[in-house]
Homo-oligomer: A and B are copies of this chain.
Amino acid sequence: MKHLDTDECGFATALNAIGGKWKTEILWEITLAPRRFGVLRRLLPGVSEKVLAQQLREMEADGLVRRQVFPGAVQKVEYSVTDVGRTLNDAVCVMSAWGKAQERRMALRPVVVQEKPRPLIRLRA
């Protein structure tokens, strides 16, 4: 397990896929079960429809999620994970495990359900 010696290592590619305030949570939710747009909106309190639609489109373009439109009287669009998305979710879980293990030592927020906005973090992509 080694970064490339002189330049890129793949992390940038990974970041490009999960980089986006809600992408990890979107990925997690659709990993649990296929979800409709409105359902996702309700599952992720705080996302605006604009950003949700935007990030779903990007994730679809990246092959992480599948978008299926169901014909019928009322509009119905379902989003589900692809195999690739699932592997990314696994990688994200490794990071989560690290965070979980370090949580106490880091003396961070007490992991309660946070409704209010958390600070934003920037990373290279």
Contacts and interface: CB of A to CB of B under 8 A. Distances in A.
A50 interface: no
A97 B12 contact: no
Tell me which of A24, A84, A111, A124 has the highest count of chain B C-beta atoms within 10 A of its own C-beta: A124
Copy tally for this chain in the complex stands at 2
A94 to B, nearest CB: 4
Given A2-B93, A9-B100, A18-B123, 9 more contacts: A4-B111, A8-B111, A12-B118, A22-B124, A84-B105, A88-B102, A95-B95, A119-B125, A121-B123
A28 to B, nearest CB: 6
B105 A63 contact: yes
The 10 closest A-B CB pairs, nearest first, are A19-B121, A10-B100, A10-B99, A13-B99, A14-B99, A10-B96, A11-B96, A91-B98, A121-B125, A14-B95
Contact of A24 (B98, B99, B109, B123): B123
